[in-house]
Each structure stands twice: as structure tokens, then as C-alpha cells.
Amino acid sequence: MRSDEVWVNLRRRIHRFDLDDGDTELETAILQWKLFLGWLPSSIPHSSLVVLSEYAELLRIRFQSHGSVDDLEESIELHRRVVDYLRSRGKLHAVALNNLGVAHALRFFNFTRSDDIQTSIALHEEALSIASAQRHDRAESLVHLGHALTLLHRLDTKAPLVNRAIEHLREAHNLIPESDPLFVITTLHLSDALRQLFSYSGGKPDDIRDAVRLARKAVELCPARHRQRPEILIGLAGKLGVFFEVEDNQELREEERLLYRQALAEQSPRHPFRCVALAQLGYRLASGQYFGDSTSAELDEAIQLGHEALSLTTPEHIWYHVILSTLGYAYSRRSSLAAEHRSDLDESILLQRRGVEHVRATASYRYIHLHNLADALEVRWQREKKPEDLEEAISLAREALRLCPPGHNDHPYSAYALGRRLLVTSSWTFEEIDEIVRCFEAINNTIYPLGHPLRSWGVGNIAQLVHARYVRSQDPHDWTYAMDCFQLATDDPHTSYVRRFAAVKRWIAAAEKSNSVEMALMAYQRAVDMLPYHTHLGLDLAGQLESMKRSFATMSCEAAGCALASSQPVEAVRMLEQSRSIFWAQMLQLRTSFEGLPPNLAEKIVEAATGLEEYHSQAPSADASGAERIIQQRVLHKKFQVLLGQVRTYPGFENFLRPYSFEQLARVTARGPVVLLISSERYGSSAIIIRSPSSGVEHVPLTGFTAHARGNMIALLDDTVPQHRPPARDGKSRLAIVKVKRPVRDEKDLMESLWSNVVEPVISRLRLQKCESYDARPRVWWCCAGIFTSLPVHAAGTLKPSPTFLSDFAVSSYIPSLSSLVMARQKCAKTETAKVLIVAEPDAADHTPLPESLREVDIIRAKMASNPCALGNLRVEVRQGRAAVLEQMDDASVIHLACHGLQDRDQPLSSGFVLRDEKLTISDIMRLKLPYARFAFLAACESAAADREQPDEVIHLAAAMIFSGVPSVVGTLWSMGDEDGPTVAGYIYEELARSYPNFDDDRIPFALDAAIRKLREDGAHFHRWATYIHMGV
């Protein structure tokens, strides 16, 4: 057999093992050849060279699957023996040289020894020089040489290296047919080289687009069980991450995460490329915090992935410094979440420094590590104000900019990073700022032209820089230029809402710094209009809530306060309404009736809405299936939005699912005034009164509710109300968490403060008078925003000169938003009365017994017995499990839950009622439709307790009931005494029995008020009677 045929046959035999059918066949072949070679003399005959090469290749394949360094070292040694033997006899063959070159390149990847990559290049060049006229020998040499040059380019930024690599790889790509196994690897390597050119050596956007196209082709052609498939998936993922920075398309990031998770699922625990997938996935999870699509759980996962990646490498590994940097980046991101993670920042800086130390000065990616370290130092400077941190961050930014000259892919960000850090110092010069402004102006004219998704970011940077220049120069031209740029950046329709929202927040900050209320209001209006679109569609419901908390937790009060400062109270109402309860509004969209539409369109949009609800209800999954669900969820949301656009083309549906107009909102005051309470850090606290549908809006400044008064009132509340501990009377509380006892301050201080600073100015403006007859009192609905959601406004009162309470003037109810009252009224007009469901759990496992809950059931039964119709529809469930209770709730008109309540501040959707077997959570309630529901009494602790860190989303059990269709709810702001449940229930169910099966919605809040008066008159402490509130109609 001719020599060429021998090596061709070797190649074919080796390709048998490309498909991973388990390791049995591979291990058997390795063992066979090892035994065979053991029988040979030390001087291996020429006829056995192919056997030696095959054994060496099998060891290399096993290394690439399982990462045993011993396999790689032995493979190199065996290949070296083959090459030395052939060279000594003048019979060198390209295949033998390429085999040894590939093995050296693999060792370079793992140990970054420059002699390995230089040896690899020399071997492939020699192979190319002697390659036979046969196309495959030459093509194979070109492929491996091109890949080796690409690897060397990571250590040396010289563009000719990667350009030469691309030239070789393109030639090989043209020589090899798609059916050849080498075609897939050639396609991947060419994609790698193009990505290197774009990222580090002044490549063009078309280069990364071509790289993504080729990487997709490689994935498409690679068989499902191919041993190199994980590497190919990682290759595509990395290019999508880079391409995202060009296209700013969130779908690219989602696909990137999916590919990394798929690669990890297919890799063995010691796979050589596993560390790459781990590090890159961790980085993408951590960077999602900026884009609003990561959660605290994902940041924890990012850190765990980084540590696993670090355990798989040594300081000599080519990815070691990358792993240090990505792990440090994850720690930095997590440090901003909560106080318990603040020490993460020091760990981040330590890791980032180690990463920079391991990066060569000539490395093409050094600038990335400099940016990451500078970012962490800047964050620490913002917290601790150590000047050396900011000075070092600026120094690192200058070095990064030197490494990224004009034409470099990262030049725009490097210029921005330096400019941003210079602005927080007093040492910058006009010349420095002018230079960076000119840089971005040139970038926007060339790299980010009109229509580019990143143009908004570039224009926003100009705005921020020019505004800083204006603050020092007071040049009116700078002011006009800066504000125009902010507006352009915010309104750019080609940019994602995430970047536009970032631009508008910078606009707000600049306008307020310059005390321009007019410009700030313009910016707030745009910000509020963007809020429904800012939430990342790929997050589960808990993730969406967390994202909202980080992004715009205080937006509503500041926006409304700005509108009031501009003497536009109607606009303040509009912005309050659109910037609060966004979570519930988005969920309610999916439950809207589509009656009146053409059946075909109605069927399609109902199907899309139902599908989105199902996606939202699923728990997040940290694997490939979870990543796939995110992509599917986005596709379905797009479909829903397209269908929604079609719905609005039909007569009568033009405003379908759009926000209510002020005129529509004002109609809710037909049965009593609505008072909106806001507290703004910048614009102060105010009450906004809507008396009637035609009265307009009145602004009442709450001048006494200053920042100091606000802080004092919260401290009073925390001291007056025993947070998370049993009431004093008999030690029985329906709160399932017991914490350390707090000192109790005088309740009168809190009541007086609420009265004088908040309530008295409002009732004075409303001209309310004490009523001789309690039944003659009007109703008032309180719509609280910001810190007011945590305050018991209904309990305000004074003992001077005589006892006076808000309840002497009016009966109070609360609403999460005006829209919620609109929908509740609509529900009441349609609902028929059905079953009365009473649920009690007196002795849940691991919780304090609640014996009074059984007496509560008896009292309700006795009250309902006065009405045979009501008694006949009464259903009592005691000591029942979650599933049974959910089933009974489905067709109930009245729902009463007497049990322990759990309020989960970290995972609010997991808050719930403790039943016999498990919790009935907010997530469970949200899945219910409750078509007949009219009233719910949630006789459990904290069933209407607001989250001070996220007040405007009103995520508690009572709000969940309203979302699910219950128009009237009684709940508790904090713990309730077990002994008080029967008293309050008695008053309420006496009224219900009197009117059943008809419903007079006014009677429930009046009955609750009577029960509260009874407790107060009997001497109950403030925290016992003030905990009860009514929400809804």
C-alpha cells in the first residue's frame, strides 16, 4: 500500500471515534493498541508507525473528552516519535506533522506555553510546504495552521496574524466539501478567526456577522453526538455574545445562555472546554443585572459557576485570567444587591487584580480586564469615597483607551468609561471633555449612524458629557445641546427599552441637578410611559418583581411630585397610575375578555394569553430547558403584541388594553372621594384629592410630612407595632414567624403624627365633619404610594382636646390603584352570589395553635344561620389541604381564611396561608379566576402588609385576591391576635347575612369599622385594632 493511502486510512479510522457512543469502544481501542505496542521492541519498525499514530490520536481524543493531561502528554510524545522517525528517513508526511501540531496547540490552550504554539505553527507550516497535490492534505494543513495563528493572536495583538489565519482558513473552506468531517471544524475555526479580528484588531461589523453565520453553519452540520459538539456550541455562543454588543438584541443573549447550558449538559465533568462554558455562562448571568434580566439567584449561580471553572484550571491555563475576571465581575454585581453581600466587592477587586496580573501586556483582551477592575474600584469609591480607588480607576481607564484606539471594536466604550470617571472628579479640563465629546460625535457619524441600535447610547454619552460641561461653564448652548441629546437618546425607536430607560434616568438626574422642573417633567413623562416595556420578558414572575425593585422602585412618587411642582396635578395622577402596580397590570392583560372580536382573532389572542400565563407560572430552571422556555416565552409575547395591534384596528377596540384616561379614572369617585398620597425625596409629600367625576384634581401639600417626620414616623411604627412577635394579651398570633421583641413606644405618638401631618390637612380640604350617626359617614378611598403604603392612615387620630379619629369623619378603604377600583366596580356589576367558603386551620404543624379560629367558624355559622339562604350556601373546611381549598375557592362568592400567614420579603410570591399540608401562596391565588367572588376576609397575619423596598407593586395576599377577581377584601397590615378574629368576623358576617344573597358593598367597610371601634373601646392596644384594613369597592 502506498504511503499516502496508509495515512488516509488512518484518518478514516480515527474519524470513527468522532461520534460519542459512550467510551466503551474508545477505551477498548486504546487498550488494544497499548497492549500491541507493549509487545513491540523499543525500536519500532516502520510498519508500526501508523499504529503508533493511531494510538496517539486516540489518546488525544480521550483528552478532548475528559481532560486527562497525562493522555495529552503521552499523545505528544508518541506523535513526536513518529515525526522524528519519519524525518530521520526523509519520509515526512503532512498528516504526521499536523497531528503533532494539533497536540501542541491543545497543550498551549491548557498551559499557555508560547513554545507550544510556536512549535504548532512551525509544524503546520512545514506540513503545508510538503502537502501532496491531494486537496485534503493541503486543506488540513491550512485549517490547523489558521487555528494556531488565531490562538497566538490572543497573546499578540498584531493584526497580520489573524488576517493571515483568515486567509488560510478561507482557502481551506473552499477546498473541502461539506460532506467531509473536516468541514465542520474548518467552519468553526474560520468563525473564531473572524471574531478575533472584529473584537481585537479593528474588524468591521460584517466580520462578526459572518462569524455568527459560519458558527451557525457549524452547529447545523455537526452531528448530535459528535465529541466536539460542545466546543462548537460554545463557539457559537461566544460569537452571539459579541454580536449582541453590535445589534443590542436581547434574543441573542438568551440564545447565548441556552447554548452554554446545552454545552455543559453534553460535557463530561473534566472536559477541557467545560471551564470556558462555565465562565462565559457565569459572566452572562452576572451581566444580565444591567439589562434587567438577572435575579439574585442567577448571580449566586454565576459565582458558583465561576468557582467550578476555577477548580478546573491552573494559573497556566489560557482561560485562567478570564475566569478570575468573570468571577470577580459576578461578585461585584452581587455586592450591590443587599447588605449581606457588601463584602463581595473586596473579593471582586482581589480577583480582578489577579486576573490583570496574569494577562500579558501584549494580550489582545487586556483592556477587558482593565475595565472590569476599574468598574469594581469605581463602585468601591462610590461607597467609601477613598480617592485612591477613583484615581486608580481613571488610570486603568486611560490604559484601556490606549489599547483601544479609533477603529477598535471597544473604542466607544473605552472613551465612555474614561469620560464617566473624569466627570466625578473636579480635576478634568474642558480640553479632555471636548476631546471625548468629539470622539462620540465621530462615532455616531460612522459606527452608530441613524437607525443603529446603539446610537441612543452614544448620543446619551454626549448628553452627559456636555451637561457636565454646562454645569461648569453655564453656557446656554451646552444646556440646549445636552437636553436635545438626552431627548434623542430617550426617543430613539431603534434602541431597546433597557438602553432608552437608562438614557432617560440620566436625563432626569441632569435636569434635576440643574433645577429644571420643566425638563425633569418631560423626562419623567417618557420614563413612566416606558415602564411597562422595561420588564424583561424572559424572567419568571419572581424575577420580574426583583428587576422592578432594582430599576424603578421609587419612580412613581418622584414623577408625580415633579408634575405637582409644575402645577400639573392631572398629569401627576396619570403618571402615578401608570407607574404603579405594573406587575398586576401586565398579568391582568392576559385575563381580559375578548368578547366582540371576530372569533378567529379572539381564539388566537386567547391562546397566546393562556400560553403566557402558563409560562409565567412555571418555576425558573437553571438548565437548558429553562433557557429554551425563556426564548419560547419571548416569541409568544411578540405574537401577543402583534395580535393586540390587530385587535386595535377594529371599531370600538382602538383603546383596548391601553391605560385608562383621567376621565375614566375619575368616575370611581361617584361614591366618594379618592385621596392619593405620595412622598417624594426631592419634591416633598402631597395629597391629591379627586372629589367627584367632574371636580377635577386638588393638590394638598403635606408640609409637615418632611423627610425627618417621615423617618420618625417609620421608627414610631416599628416601635408601636410589635413586628413579627405575638400580641401581648395571650401569646397567640396568626403570624408564623417569631422574632426578637422590640421596645414598645406610645401608640399616641404615631396616631398624632399621622393625624397632624397627613390626615387633618386632607379632611380640612374635604370639609368633612364629625357625624352624629355613624351610618351617615361618607366613604373615602386612600390610594397610597411610596412609604405611605406601610402606614396605617385609617388609624390616625388625636386625643387633644378630646379623642378624635379619622373614623369619626369617614369610613376608610384602600385601593392599590385607581384602575383596580375601576375593574372591581365592573366585576360587582356582573357577579352573581354563590357559595360562602369558610376555611380554618387551627393547628398547623410546627406553628402555634390557633384555637380561636374554631370559635371564629362557629360565630360565622351562627351569624349566617339567621338567613336560611346563606346557611344553605355555607361550606366549612377545617384542617384541609391546599389542593382541596383551591378547588373549593373556584366557585365561591365569599372566601374566609382563618389561619397562620407567612409574608416572605425575599420571595413575595411565596407568601401564603399555612394549611394542613403546605402553604396556599400568592402564586397559587394568581392562577385562580374566581368568577363569582365578591368578598374575602383574610384573617391571617400580614395579609395586606406592604414591602417598603418595593411599595408601588403592592405584592401581598390581599392584592393577589383583588388581582384574581375579588372586588372587596379585608386584610391585616401586621400580626393579628387570635382572640380578635371572632370579634371582627362576627360584625362582618352579621352584615353579610342580613343582605345575602344581595351584596351591598358599602356594608363590609362599615361593619369592619364597627368591629375596630369595638376593639378600641374595649381597650385593645393600637396594634390589635389598627391592623385591620378594607381594600376595594
Q: In what order do the strands lie in the sheet with 900-902?
A: 900-902, 912-914, 919-921
Please tell me the predicted confidence (pLDDT) of residue 308: 96
Please tell me the predicted confidence (pLDDT) of residue 214: 97
Convert 881-893 to b/e letters by CB count within 10 Å (16 or more is b).
Answer: ebeebbebbeebb
CB count within 10 Å of CB 66 equals 16
> Among 588, 601, 501, which residue's Cα sits nearest to residue 552?
501
206 grid coordinates: 460584517
Please tell me the predicted confidence (pLDDT) of residue 590: 75
Inter-CA distances, 433 with 269, 512, 855, Å: 50, 22, 74
Query: Which string of DSSP letters, residue by residue, matches 598-629?
Result: -HHHHHHHHHHHHHHHHHHHSPP-SSHHHHHH
Residue 925 amino acid letter: I
Please tell me the predicted confidence (pLDDT) of residue 53: 84
Sign of the four-CA dihedral 561, 762, 949, 573: negative
Burial class (CB in 10 A: 0-12, 13-18, 19+), 620: middle
Please tell me the predicted confidence (pLDDT) of residue 293: 61
Site of grid cell 393562556:
610
CA dist., res. 258 & res. 627, Å (int): 5
DSSP state of 733: B
Contacts of 58 (CB under 8 A, 6+ apart): 14, 17, 26, 29, 30, 33
764 phi-psi bin (left φ>0, alpha ψ -120 to 50, beta other): alpha
CB count within 10 Å of CB 926 equals 19
CA dist., res. 48 & res. 267, Å (int): 33
Residue 504 near residue 526, CB atoms below 8 Å: yes
CA dist., res. 769 & res. 103, Å (int): 91
CB count within 10 Å of CB 769 equals 11
| Cα atoms found within 13 Å of the Cα of residue 134, Cβ hemisphere only | 14
Query: Which string of DSSP letters, residue by residue, matches 769-791?
Result: ---SSGGGPPEEEEEE-GGGGGS
Q: What is the dihedral of CA 924, 849, 854, 814, to 10 degrees?
A: -50
Site of grid cell 488560510:
168
Please tell me the predicted confidence (pLDDT) of residue 43: 63
Instruction: Please list the rounded mean pLDDT of every run of 10 residues in the chain (1033 residues).
Output: 52 58 72 72 65 85 86 92 87 88 92 90 94 80 95 76 93 92 93 91 88 96 87 95 87 90 91 93 86 77 95 90 94 83 92 92 86 93 92 94 88 89 84 88 87 91 93 94 96 90 94 96 94 66 64 82 96 92 76 83 87 72 69 82 88 86 92 95 95 93 90 82 43 47 63 94 95 88 93 92 91 94 78 84 91 95 91 92 93 94 85 92 89 93 85 85 92 93 95 86 93 92 93 94
Please tell me the predicted confidence (pLDDT) of residue 302: 94
492 grid coordinates: 430613539
> Among 945, 956, 977, which residue's Cα sits nearest to residue 852?
977
CA 271 from chain center: how many Å?
A: 30
CA dist., res. 984 & res. 859, Å (int): 10
Q: Angle CA(453)–CA(454)–CA(458) in degrees, nearest 5?
A: 145
631 grid coordinates: 426564548
Please tell me the predicted confidence (pLDDT) of residue 548: 63
Please tell me the predicted confidence (pLDDT) of residue 920: 94
Element (H, E) at 499: helix 497-513
Q: Angle CA(384)–CA(389)–CA(390) in degrees, nearest 5?
A: 100
CA dist., res. 44 & res. 41, Å (int): 6
Please tell me the predicted confidence (pLDDT) of residue 986: 96
